[in-house]
Amino acid sequence: MNKKYTYIWVSLIVLIFGIIFIPRIIDRIKSGSIVENTRMNVAEGAGRPLEYITLNDKKRRVPAFSFLNQDSLLITNEDYKGKVYVVEFFFTTCPTICPIMNQNLVEIQNEFREFENFGIASFTINPDYDTPMVLKEYAEKYGITDMDWNLLTGDSQEVMKLANEGFNIFAASSPDVPGGFEHSGLFALIDKNGYLRSRKDAFGNPLIYYRGTIRESLGENFEGEQEQISILKEDIKKLLEE
């Protein structure tokens, strides 16, 4: 075939492709479907066993704790033996991230309500104010009804030590920030034997913690950080099946 006509046919094919497919690609970008596919690859791990979180080559286990819950009952780490559970650090007067965190946890509570071997442990970082009575009112306000979801309060130094040293989840008093306390808004996932577990990210590193400050329905926050409640739910199911 004459080269001139070959070029014409190639140009025509490229033009037709552009007319048909480029608008579809633009529509997918606008609708977010391409972005969604990318998001799904950010945190890998579907179908794979969860990683053990280690420190100095040793599996990290939840340290011993003993606090009062919203019903003034003494709760220890032994009460969670044989259960998969999520840990958070919060406080009832938090004006920023705590309401979102606990809305997310209520959603998780409702999804796993029928599992007797699932629970949640919420440690207040303002125990001087958050008495069992205050925690009880907070539980009623947010729809916390699962008997294995304990809102825990006790000695302030012990709580801070548990957060910063036991879980390496940052928490500190800070009079210059709204509410008077700083904390990370992360969730830790614990298996039935008391070990911290997580999936790997796209780079092959354990996530360690799950972002608790973005609603699953939102997808991401204004900074482009992606929600991790959906993958937390998937990973809870994995541990329940172990």
Query: Which residue positions form the known binding site?
Result: 94, 98, 183
Phi, psi (deg, nearest 5) at residue 60: -85, 125
Q: Which residue has the tokens 């075939």?
A: 1
Q: Which residue has the tokens 């990290």?
A: 60
Give the residue numbers of the binding site for Cu cation: 94, 98, 183
Task: Report the phi/psi class of residue 205: left, alpha or beta, with left for phi > 0 and alpha for psi in -120 to 50.
Answer: beta
Count the Cβ atoms, other than its own, within 10 Å of residue 187.
23
From the list 231, 93, 69, the residue with the least C-alpha distance to 153 is: 69
* Cα 34 to Cα 41, 60, 120, 235, distances in angstroms: 11, 37, 34, 24
From the list 164, 219, 238, 241, the residue with the least C-alpha distance to 31 is: 219
How many Å from the N-terminal Cα to the C-terminal Cα in the chain? 65
d(CA 219, CA 230): 10
Count the Cβ atoms, other than its own, within 10 Å of residue 59.
14
Helix (H, G, I), strand (E, B) or coil at 142: helix
Q: Which residue has the tokens 């609603």?
A: 215
